[in-house]
Amino acid sequence: MIRRIEPRDVDAAVGLVYELALYEKAPEQCHLTSEQLHTALFGERPALFGHVAEVDGQVVGIALWFLNFSTWDGVHGVYLEDLYVTPDQRGNGLGKKLLQALAQECVEQNYTRLQWWVLNWNEPSIGFYKSLGAIPMDEWTTMRVTGAALSALASAD
């Protein structure tokens, strides 16, 4: 079953985010807490949304996403931050169903795009995404400012 995330799912979702960080070979970079995720999803001004895949009452997959905006199209889109299905449930169509739920969100809201990142080494996921019609945007370079560089930029004259 694919459904919108509910407050009762937060702890399970945090656990899956940590599993994803381990899969992506960066567990030391994951610091998410249940309180943080709960506030982001269900706080006064939610900026994060989510869907879960549930099998036999257990959350076994997540899609966490937020809205972006295309100035060229003049409308919002969906940016998928995390998509993860537990290894024992892969191959059962849950990843595709989670992406279908986000595509439906886009169509229903007249959003013009659904996008996400995938690590270059993650060939199984890249193949899966391409099979759904996703196109690599490899002419773009992702840029990021964090930590000390972020602080320095914020305080620059």
Q: Give the SS3 label for residue 40.
A: helix
Q: Give the SS3 label for residue 122.
A: coil
- Catalytic residue chosen out of the listed positions 18, 23, 111, 129: 129
Neighbours of 71 (CB within 10 A): 6
Closest to 111 (Cα-Cα) out of 65, 72, 73, 149: 73
129 is known as an active-site residue? yes
Beta carbons within 8 Å of 112's beta carbon, 6+ residues apart: 70, 73, 75, 77, 106
Q: How far apart are CA 139 and CA 132, in angstroms?
A: 20
β-partners of residue 51 are 4, 63
Q: Which residues are catalytic?
A: 129
